[in-house]
Amino acid sequence: MWGKYMQQPESEAKNRNSLDDLPSRPARKLFRDIMLRLHTLEWIPFGSRIKETDEDSKDKIDKEHQQLEFMFRYYGWPDNFDAAGFDKAKNRYMEFERVTWEAEKVEGDVKVASDHVRSFSYQYNEMLKRYKGGIWDGDPNKPAEEVEKLEAELKNKQEIVERCKNTLEAKTKRYDEREGPEAEIARAWQKHLQGHIEWLERNIEFRLKQGDRLNDADKDELQKEQDKLAILLEQVRDTSMLPKTAEEAIKGSGGTIGMDWY
């Protein structure tokens, strides 16, 4: 093929680096089309990518697109856009999305744990096939050091299988104990807030240990963190005031005070 290409007359040989054969359109029309798609929110710039309406996983993408379109419209897009309000809503929405993911991953946890049991059980059984009648690989003269190493590896695989089975049992029990969407959201909020609380407590403890070495700026930051901690402790005790839907998170309703703290 390469020889045939090289034998072509110079006038007929194609430049493989040329862009002439690629689809193209006038730049003015291209950018007008991009602006129109952004203006109408057919394309929604959010995070590290542009959300479209016609991607794979259509149901999930459509739901996310609808939520983002609602957020943009609620804060005045395109003609009366409240950028400051939108930025706060974006933080609340992204936090709520993390909480939602935690609430919905229970079923996925069971599948992952089940896959682990299946995978590690297979590895254990395959290795066990090499051990018959107290002899490894049918070789009664295998060096003792190698036998010891194989037996340790087999024992380790067996222990991994047992841990995986225990994990699967716990995840299955957790799945069976689900109390409905609202209860799962509340549980997820508690777990999410507890992570922030533990981080703040460690940070506050560190600052307090500094004692007289804290400057005025550090003291101000310490007070802010103590105030944030008080809010989060109140929220983790009563999650009923935290948003249960993306719309509540976007609007800032449902007692979301404190969600903009980070």
Give the pLDDT of residue 177: 84
Whether the Cβ atoms of residue 146 and residue 130 lie closer than 8 Å to each other: no
What 3 state SS string does 129-170 have? Answer: CCEECCEECCCCCCCHHHHHHHHHHHHHHHHHHHHHHHHHHH
Please report whether residue 11 resides in a domain. no
Containing structural domain, residue 35: 27-81
Q: What is the mean pLDDT of the chain?
A: 86
Give the pLDDT of residue 18: 75
Range of weakest confidence among 85-99, 110-124, 178-192, 227-241: 178-192
The tens digit of pLDDT for each residue in 113-131 reads: 999 999 999 999 999 999 9
Which residue would you say has higher pLDDT here, 83 or 174? 83
pLDDT at 259 over 80: no
pLDDT at 257 over 50: no
Please report whether residue 261 resides in a domain. no
Same domain, 164 and 243: yes
Please report whether residue 4 resides in a domain. no
Give the pLDDT of residue 9: 55
Residue at 133: amino acid letter: G
Same domain, 59 and 123: no
Whole-prediction pTM:
0.63
Please report whether residue 146 resides in a domain. yes
CA 19/CA 24 separation, integer angstroms = 9
Total count of domains within the chain: 2
CA 152/CA 148 separation, integer angstroms = 6
Please report whether residue 99 resides in a domain. no
Same domain, 225 and 122: yes
Give the pLDDT of residue 11: 53
Same domain, 150 and 237: yes
Please report whether residue 210 resides in a domain. yes
Give the pLDDT of residue 62: 82
Residue 247: pLDDT band (50, 70, 90) is very high
Same domain, 39 and 163: no
CA 34/CA 131 separation, integer angstroms = 65
Output the CA angle 44-249-105, nearest 5 degrees: 85
Same domain, 122 and 179: yes
pLDDT at 6 over 90: no
Residue 7: pLDDT band (50, 70, 90) is low
Please give the average per-residue pLDDT across 95-103, as a whole number: 89
- Return the percentage of the chain with pLDDT > 70, whole number: 85
pLDDT at 240 over 60: yes
pLDDT at 5 over 50: no
Which residue would you say has higher pLDDT here, 99 or 50? 99
Same domain, 133 and 236: yes
Structure tokens at 249: 């998170």
